[in-house]
Structure 1
Amino acid sequence: MPKALLDEAIVTGRMPFVAQLVRSGAYHLENAFWGAPTSTPFFQAGLLYGLQHPNLPGYSWYDRALGRKVQMNTPGDAMAIDARLRGHGRTSLLDHGGHTYFSLFHAGAMNRMCMSTLSSFKLMARSFAYEMQGLGSARTKGAWDFLRSFGMESWHAVREVLQWARALNDWRHEQGFLVSRILLQRLGWSFAHTKSLVDMVRGVPLIYLVYGNYDEVAHRRGPRSELALQELYRVDASLAELFAVARAAPEPYDVILLSDHGHVDSLPLEQRQGRRLEAVLFQGAVPPLRDDVRRGLLDGRAPPAADTAAREPFIPVVVEAGNFAHVYLSGRPAPLEARELLARHPEVLARVTNNPDIGMVAMRRGAEAVVVMGGGVYGAADLDRAPLTTEYSRRAVADFLHGLPRMDTAGDLVLFGEAVQKGGTVGFAWEFGSHGGLTRVESDSLVMWPAQGPVDLSGLSHCARLHERLAEAYLDTGSPRILH
């Protein structure tokens, strides 16, 4: 969630406990910028491993090294990427006994409750007894009360899904969303929350607890939908319990609250144009490529001849990743550069740079990266004269362009939806709340930390800097323990 939405939740009373922490002066609350893309894998690689350039272009992408599409909600894919991150030789915040719940990466944690360990039944079975220890004594509801509230919430979830799908006349994702609502957002969160209480009593040195319910609901219903806002009240009540146990633990914990990205309203391209992005890219009439765009992409180099050389067949891959998308036009290990795109795929360039619902197109140009918008081509140093709408963050666009040349997992083209309303953009996936893009809302993250704690988390400009400050305060000096 963006900080602006937390500010609203504090004022309107949706998060009364968090409001009390801030208003009493016990906690500092500030904006934070973690870098771009504004996605969970990128953030967690920076937070847990301290990597500034983790080569993670989103939540899903076509991985050139693996030769297939990967998704971070697939346990086997999360495990493969976690092993790749671990191969950088960095120390994780969770090394030496830390626990994690619902993170994507294991990152050296002692327990097995993250996406990248769910791929191993043997590991999960082996850790079952360990994970169940202490749950009975930490319960906050009796069995009958829990079953009754769980049944009522499940029934309300079924009714809401039926009403939503009928209103849109579209059932995609709804079955999975219903399962997520019942199993992950209710049973899963209840388990992780209770386990965190147990961990604090047992003295686990660091706990990284990811509350993903708001994110799940915001994708499917929108970040300001009533269903999404209800999750803020739920997490506020959970935080009150966590704070109470953190203070009463034999060795008290510092509790730090973070958001890894904001959520922006997303208007699906398919609703607006009646076709998906792949059809927009590869079908229909080809408009002329603007001369200014061609000159900007060449940057003084000679125009290329049409490249019609025979190559190993490769079916283009389009990854619709919310309000941005990765387009892979070649199967070779290295991404295509702008001059090569002009030679091989001028028709695709013409379509994407002329489509009114595509606000920006990013690609590599030589050793740098550029973005095409409004009929012009701009590098990171040229953004002051670029026609950026007020919805986009100049800082996030610049950060993305600086990182793209080092991100060979990103597409040959990276597309960003046009800003079409205040706080909203066109989305390429069928969802109504998106993140990963470059708007102000998506890059407007937040951090809360105890005023009397041993660490100052103000003025953060990247999630890797967050890792450095936490490691210095808590891992290197033996200071009090920490709960994220």
Structure 2
Amino acid sequence: MAEPHRSRVRVLGGAVLRVAAVWAASTVTMLVLAGILPDFRLQSEDGKTATGIAVTAAIGAAAFGLLSALVWPALVRALLLVPAFVLGLLVFFLNGSLLWLALSLIPAERGGDVNPETAVVVAAVMSAASSATSTALAVRDDGAYRRRLARLAGRRGIAECGPDPEPGTVFIQLDGLGHDVLHSALTRDPPLMETVARWYRDGTHELAPWRTDWSSQTGASQLGILHGSNHDVPAFRWYEKHTGQLMVCNRPASAAQLEQRAAERTGDPGLLAGEGGASRGNLFTGGADQLALVLSVAGVNGRHGRSRSRAGYFAYFADPANASRTFASFVAEVFRELGQSTASRLRRDSPRMRRGGLYPFIRAFATVVERDVVTAAVMGDMLVGRRAIYADLVAYDEVAHYAGPWHRDTHQVLRRLDRSIRLIAKAARHAPREYRIVLLSDHGQSEGPSFAAAYGISLQDLVRAGCGLPVSRRAHRRLRHDEALSALHAALHRSPDPEADVAAAGPVVLGSGNLGLISFPDIEGRATREDIEARHPALLRTLAEHQGVGFVLVHSAEYGPVVLGAQGSEHHLDTGKVIGDDPLAGFGAGAAQAVARTAAFGNVPDVMVNSAYHPVTGQVHAFEDQIGSHGGMGGAQSRAFLLWPAELGPPAEELTGAERVHRVLRGWLAAPDESRRSARAG
């Protein structure tokens, strides 16, 4: 009994010493700031002695520390329903308000004075100093370090697994990072991602590409990976005729519907289902019982759902030091983007796009706030021993859309992502169970000028012109000088067919990267090739013959799904018959199978358009305003990656399609349990 008692005494004594040290660090920090900031003053009881001023600083530091510990968590929890982007800004200023309140609690004869703007700065520096002191002391004590990280992540316990636990698995999705970009980042000298490069170089991890479905975007890929089915997800956004609604994968209501449909189709709640699953920063839950920053949850149960989806922000910002540090990094990232976009204009980078407006703030949120919050959540999950964790880090994808997947601006993002991975790997050393870290991506990105930038016309105007509907003046002028669109000239000048019942608004035209989707709401069910050619004789030929279009998918009443290409070429998917040059020949092995699978979806639009792909340059043309794009087929966007611990063994099947990746990951989750049971039986 004496030994446990002495152990408790040591733990208590260590805690008291750490509190004293943090208090002393905060006091010294306050004194230094009072000496260098003209708008921040401390005074002693007699107004003169240094000792008295130090006592005032100690009282102020203690009051600020108590308020931070008691009031701050309640404030952050109350702000969970505030939009996440705003929350990251508010917490910084709330921290300054707490300091102002702490100084007001000091007796008047030995008080302090600070204006609101300076209070924000002082509070941020004091929070950072106390956090650094606490961390420096805790890392020397594994138990204290684990308790601290678990507390910062919002967890009450430090071990949810019992004795002799099975190994856990952490899946980290590096959104939008293609296989070829990652391989280059790991093999160059020096590598852009040192931690991951060491794993790859030492042979502890193996790397392989996997081919996405035709819809090479996060909605389809992550739904397939986490829930085992991405059936009926033809693109990132599409129009559903039977419901009359526009589905967008990153809208909470749409994400909730897609997850429900996948669960109904498979009869399986997801990859992370069961006790000990955690989903962090994803579009979908994967069946996990522990959720933070999951979009599909925000689309259900109203306020409760939004609060639950943002719980990760409370867990992270409950420590005011995190708030201060992340806000400072946020501001730095905004200025970094402004500098990089200016440098890109001065260098006359090509292709290049406008990066102003709100984009610098959106980028900072994705590359700083989301990254820090998700990383902290994963570390907390590991420190309490959760069995399976899946997290999405979106930083690379966001920057690559605007700068390009190979651009120097994305190199800095990769370095910072590597630091996050290193932090997660370090946390694994203090976890109550062994962890295997698997890295993967949901798709890659292909580069190239947008369709509108390359050809002076948007896909929507091209479709409207092909239907004989009005287009913008700019598009009309551009078309007059394009000899390749003789069929479109005829469409622009022909008289409307009086018997054609064309909706006043025209067809619904959507872009999903370099994949275009066209639906005719006035035609019930899926419009056939014959229907479209009867109503709009020039449309399909206009699209297929355009030099910026690779191929067009349409359904024929006679032949089934047909792929149309330039110069009258066709590929009949049901029979494999090819007329002229195969329109799919340049899109790689498996292209016909991927297109045929999508053609069988109930939600497939009337017409699907894939932009041209230039094999020599690897370029495609997004139908959105993007340089790096994904969503369709062509080039690196279809080559995602999977990097796994060698001890798990190679994938059990070919890595083609997100649903197969799901089966591979599920097999790896089951493998440790099966091997452990076999060992015990032996």
Q: Shorter-chain TM-score category? A: 0.7 to 0.9
2:361 counterpart of 1:179: yes
CA apart distance, 1:184 = 2.8
Hey, what does 1:30 align to over in structure 2?
A: 208
- Name the CA distance, whole Å, in 1 between partners of 2:579 and 2:394: 36
Greater Rg over alpha carbons, structure: 2
Say if 1:252 and 1:480, in contact at 8 Å, map to a contact too.
no
Aligned mates of 2:645, 2:403 — CA distance in 1? 33
Q: Deviations over 1:122-162 (max 9, x none)?
A: 2233576686458768x9x8776555444322322344456
Q: After superposition, give the CA deviation of every residue in 1:200-234 in whole Å (9 maximum; x if it has no partner).
A: 11122211111111111111221112222221111
CA distance in 1, matches of 2:592, 2:197: 34
Provide the rounded CA distance (Å) in 2 between the counterparts of 1:62 and 1:480. Answer: 47
**SS of equivalent to 1:76:** helix
Kept in 2: contact 1:256–1:449 (CA 8 A): yes
For residues 59-116 of structure 1, the C-alpha deviation after alignment (integer angstroms, 9 at most, x for no partner) is 1111223313222222222223222223322330122242212221223222142122
Structure with greater helix percent:
2
**Residue aligned with 2:663, SS:** helix
Deviations 1:149-196 (CA, angstroms, capped at 9, x unpaired): 44322322344456668979x997743422322223211210111110
Contact 1:455–1:473 (CA<8 Å) still a contact in 2?
Answer: no
Matched-pair contact (CA < 8 Å) for 1:55–1:407: yes
Partner of 2:592: 398
Correspondence for 1:321 among 497, 512, 524: 512
Cα distance change of structure 1 residues 35 and 277 upon mapping to structure 2, 3 Å threshold? closer
1:278 has 2:444 as partner: no
Task: Report the count of equivalent residues.
Answer: 461
Tell me the SS of whatever aligns to 1:93.
coil
Tell me what 2:251 maps to. Answer: 74
- Mapped to 2, the partners of 1:229 and 1:73 lie a distance apart of 26
Kept in 2: contact 1:29–1:449 (CA 8 A): yes
Task: Write the distance in 1 (CA, Å) between the matches of 2:311 and 2:283.
Answer: 22
User: Would the alpha carbon gap of residues 423 and 383 (structure 1) be closer, same or farther in structure 2, given more than 3 Å must change?
Assistant: farther
CA distance in 2, matches of 1:255, 1:237: 14
Is 2:664 the partner of 1:469? Answer: yes
User: 1:256, CA displacement in angstroms?
Assistant: 1.1
Choose from 390, 397, 418 the match for 2:612: 418
Aligned to 2:537: 346
- Greater Cα offset, 251-260 or 367-376: 367-376
Deviation per CA, 1:445-477: give whole Å up to 9, x if none.
Answer: 211111112663663222212222322342587
Moved more, 356-365 or 19-28: 356-365
The 1:84–1:172 alpha-carbon spacing in structure 2 relative to 1, beyond 3 Å, is farther
Match in the other structure for 1:302: none
2:284 to 78, 93, 105: 105
Q: Distance in 2 between matches of 1:457 and 1:387?
A: 32
- TM-aligned CA deviation for residue 266 of structure 1: 2.6
Contact 2:326 2:368 (C-alpha < 8 Å) held by counterparts: no
The aligned counterpart of 2:234 is 57
**Structure 1 position 387, deviation (Å):** 4.5
Contact 1:165 1:171 (8 Å CA) reproduced: no
Sort the Cα spacing of 1:378 and 1:159 in 2 relative to 1 into closer, same or farther, 3 A.
same
Task: Say whether 1:379 aligns with 2:579.
Answer: no
Rounded to whole Å, the distance in 2 between the matches of 1:260 and 1:270 is: 26
Determine the structure 1 residue equivalent to 2:603: 409
Q: Which residue of 1 aligns with 2:526?
A: 335
Report SS of the residue matched to 2:433: coil
| 2:513–2:624 contact (8 Å) kept in structure 1 | yes
Which residue of structure 2 lines up, in the alignment, with residue 369 of structure 1? 561
Give the 3 Å change call, closer, same or farther, for CA 341–476 of structure 1 in structure 2.
farther
The aligned counterpart of 2:226 is: 48
Q: Which residue of 1 aligns with 2:332?
A: 152
**Pairwise mapping of residues 118-129 of structure 1 onto structure 2 (< 5 A)?**
118-119=298-299, 120-125=302-307
1:437 aligns with 2:616: no
> 1:115 aligned to 277, 281, 295, which one?
295
User: Which 5+ residue runs of structure 1 have no aligned equivalent?
Assistant: 290-305
Residue 400 of structure 1 deviates from its aligned partner by 2.7
The whole-number CA distance in structure 2 between the counterparts of 1:63 and 1:176 is: 30
Bigger relative contact order, structure 1 or 2 (CA pairs below 8 A, ≥6 apart): 1
C-alpha distance in 1 between matches for 2:331 and 2:316: 25
- Aligned amino acid, residue 396 of structure 2: Y
Q: Which amino acid aligns with 2:178?
A: P
Indicate the residue corresponding to 2:185 in structure 1.
9
Q: Report the alpha carbon displacement of residue 199 of structure 1 after superposing the two structures with TM.
A: 0.5
1:128-139 equivalent positions in 2, closer than 5 A: 132-133=314-315
Calculate the TM-score normalised by the size of structure 2: 0.61
1:93 is aligned to 271
1:121 offset after TM fit, Å?
2.8
Aligned to 2:16: none
SS at 1:394's partner residue? Answer: coil
SS in 2 for 1:254: strand
Q: Is the 8 A contact 1:165 1:174 kept in 2?
A: no
Assess, with a 3 A threshold, how the Cα gap between structure 1 residues 347 and 385 changes in structure 2: closer, same or farther.
closer
Q: CA RMSD in A?
A: 3.3
Report the 3-state secondary structure (helix = DSSP H, G, I; strand = E; otherwise coil) of the residue aligned with 2:526. Answer: coil
Query: What is the distance in 1 between the residues matched to 2:288 and 2:462?
Result: 44
Q: Which residue of 1 aligns with 2:142?
A: none
Letter in 2 for 1:422: T
Q: Percent identity?
A: 23
AA matched with 1:114: V
Aligned to 1:294: none
Structure 1 residue matching 2:262: 3-state secondary structure: helix
Does the 8 A contact of 1:33 with 1:445 survive in 2? yes
Separation of aligned partners in 2, 1:330 and 1:147: 46
